Amino acid sequence: MKLKSKHEIGFVRESARIVAEVLSLIGSRAKPGVTTKELDVLAEELIRSRKAEPAFKGYGRKDNPFPATLCTSIDEEVVHGIPGGRVLKEGDILSVDVGVRKNGYYGDGARSFRIGKVSGEKERLLRVTEESLQKGIKQAVVGNHIEDISHAIQQHVESHGFSVVRDLVGHGVGKQLHEEPSVPNFGGPGKGPAIENGMTLAIEPMVNAGSWEVRFLADGWTVVTLDGEPSAHFEHTIAVIDGKPEILTQ
């Protein structure tokens, strides 16, 4: 686990700011009738215009690298959906995850978008998932432990009748896209590594309307809910500075 200097956090912040720009752009363009591939092209153009690189493109195993800039996951797709010809339709939840690398440092973030008007249950799922992220971030203070973040997320989600995915977790971020420590979305207070100044963390609740169980599709990337119920995903990269969390993907 590598703690960052304020100088290094500045580099993470620069990449994270581009992540925020991409998610803002996608939010303005994600509408019924648009394909996920069209959104992916827009995202890559924006990232490269900032003299940065898409962090996900080519990531993973050599025999099956991720082929796109964005992860675009719709409804029962939890994470790592591959952009393509699928057309967004009214009532979908579109979860978009994006990573950026600039000056050797990474930023990572995700948001779930309403495509047109969504059902009341999907609206509640989106609201609770985003709230759980904010509650988790508030626990990222010196004196707490990593699973204080996890516990706050889990408690909020489960109090509303939803479930947190257990097979996928948040993580440290810096010179690598995925660094120690792991940041689960479930756990007990006071457990895990102590939170320290200089930590840069990607906190990312993945919340299912039904069971927490998931499975991988044949493409080796797309993760879907086992019961076919919808899922939502929100993520911020944060830094712990002067004892408190600062959200870098704003």
229 Cβ contact partners less than 8 Å away, ≥ 6 residues apart: 76, 208, 209, 210, 211
103 Cβ contact partners less than 8 Å away, ≥ 6 residues apart: 11, 14, 15
Is a pLDDT exceeding 90 seen at residue 10?
Answer: yes
DSSP state of 211: -
pLDDT above 90 coverage of the chain, percent = 99
Residue 1: its pLDDT value, please? 87
Confidence bin at 91 (pLDDT 50/70/90): very high
User: Average pLDDT of 143-171?
Assistant: 98
Question: pTM above 0.85?
Answer: yes
Q: How far apart are the first and last CA of the chain?
A: 24
Fold of 6-247: Creatine Amidinohydrolase (3.90.230)
Helix 120-138 to helix 146-159 angle, to the nearest 10 degrees? 160
45 Cβ contact partners less than 8 Å away, ≥ 6 residues apart: none
The pLDDT tens digits of the residues spanning 95-140 come to: 999 999 999 999 999 999 999 999 999 999 999 999 999 999 999 9
My answer on whether omega of the bond before 245 falls inside 30° of 0, hence cis, is no
The pLDDT tens digits of the residues spanning 186-245 come to: 999 999 999 999 999 999 999 999 999 999 999 999 999 999 999 999 999 999 999 999
Domain ranges within the chain, ordered by starting residue: 6-247
The pLDDT tens digits of the residues spanning 227-244 come to: 999 999 999 999 999 999
* Burial of residue 62, with CB atoms counted within 10 A of its CB: 0-12 exposed, 13-18 middle, 19 or more buried: exposed
My answer on whether omega of the bond before 193 falls inside 30° of 0, hence cis, is no
Q: CA-CA distance, 68 to 211, in Å (whole number)?
A: 29
Question: What tokens does 103 get?
Answer: 């000056």
Q: Report the candidate in 43, 51, 172, 57 with the shortest Cα–Cα distance to residue 104.
A: 51
Residue 218: its pLDDT value, please? 97
Residue 92: its pLDDT value, please? 98
